[in-house]
Amino acid sequence: MRGFTLIEILVVVAVSVIVTGSFIVYNSVSRAQVALSVEQAKIAQLILRAKSLTISSYTQDIGSPNIRCGYGFSVDYAGRSYSLNRYDVSSNAECDAIYTNQVGSGFGNISEVVQLEKYFLDSNLNFQASGTSDELEDVLFIAPDPKTFLKVVGDNSFIRGTAKIYLETKATPPRGATVSVNSVGQVGF
Q: Residue range 23-48: average pLDDT?
A: 85
Residue 108 has a pLDDT of 59
The pTM for the full model equals 0.78
pLDDT tens for each residue of 17-35: 888 877 766 676 778 888 8
Position with higher pLDDT, 23 vs 6: 6
Check whether 85 has a pLDDT greater than 90.
yes
Nearest to residue 46, comparing CAs of 126, 151, 118? 118
Instruction: Output the pLDDT for position 103.
Output: 44
Q: pLDDT class for 173, splitting at 50, 70, 90?
A: confident
pLDDT at 38 over 90: yes
Cα→Cα distances 165→68, 75, 152, 153, 179, Å: 26, 8, 10, 10, 5
- Supply the mean pLDDT for the chain: 83
Predicted confidence (pLDDT) at residue 94 exceeds the cutoff of 50: yes
